[in-house]
Structure 1
C-alpha cells in the first residue's frame, strides 16, 4: 500500500490558477529549460515585456517561480527544481471522462457546464490526504 501524502488544497489551487492561462503555461515550460530574464522570455515567446512581467508576477505570487538578482537585472527560475518533473508528469497524463452517451469516449470541457464558483473551505478542507506518493 502506498504511503498517504497530505496535499495542500490551497497550494493545488495556486498551481491550477497558474496553469489555467496559456501564456503562463508557456512561460513555465520555457523556464523548465533554465533560468531566464524577462526580456529574453518576451523575445523567445513573441510576447511584450509588459505581458511577460504581469504573468511572471502572477507565477511568483503562486509560488512557482523565484527571482535572482544579477547585477541590475532580475532572472527568473522555477521556484523548486522538482516542478519541472511534476509539470512533465502532469502534461503526460491522459484523462478520459465519459459524458454518459458512450462509455469511455473522451470528451472535453465544452461538453460540461462548469460554474466558476468557489466553495468556502471548511476547517479541515485545506489539506486533503491522498493515496499519492512521491517517488
Structure 2
C-alpha cells in the first residue's frame, strides 16, 4: 500500500497506541524520556502507587517499549526505542492543530469536557 493510501490500521499499530492510551503508562513513558528511573523514582515523581507503576511497567515491557537493567538489588527502567518520543511529539503537534476536536470527539473524547463546553 502506498503512503498516500488509507487502509485499515495494522494490528500492531492498534496495540502500540492502546499501550500508550492509559494516562499512567503515558506518564511513565514521558518520565523515562528524561532518563532511566527506578520504580521508587516513578512512584514519587508521578504520585502513583508502587503496584500501579509495576503493573504498567510490565505492560510496557511486554510491548518492548521499556526494558530494565539491574544494579545490585535495584532495577533501572528506560525506553528501548527513544524514537517513541518523536512519535509523541508528532502527536502533540497534531493535537495542537486540531484544537478541541479530539477532546470533544463523541466516540473517544472526554464527556466531561463536552458538557462543560
- 2:21 is matched with 20
Instruction: Provide structure 1 residue ranges, at least 5 long, that are not aligned to the other structure.
Output: 97-104, 115-135
| Post-superposition offset of 1:63 | 1.7
Give CA deviations for 1:58-111 in whole Å, capped at 9, x if unaligned: 111122111111222211100112222222222221364xxxxxxxx9534654
Is the helix fraction higher in 1 or 2? 2
**Map of 2:56 onto structure 1:** 55
User: Where in structure 1 do 4 or more consecutive aligned residues deviate above 6 Å?
Assistant: none
Counterpart position of 1:88? 89
- 2:111 alignment counterpart: none
- Return the TM-score normalized by structure 1: 0.64
Report which of the two has the higher share of strand.
1
CA RMSD of aligned residues (A): 2.4
Larger radius of gyration: 1
Paired residues in the alignment total: 101
Larger relative CO (CA 8 A, sep 6+): 1 or 2? 1
Distance, in Å, in 2 between the alignment partners of 1:48 and 1:77 is 19
Counterpart of 1:112 (choices 100, 106, 114) is 106
Structure 2 residues without counterparts, runs of 5 or longer: 4-8, 109-117
TM-score (norm 2): 0.72
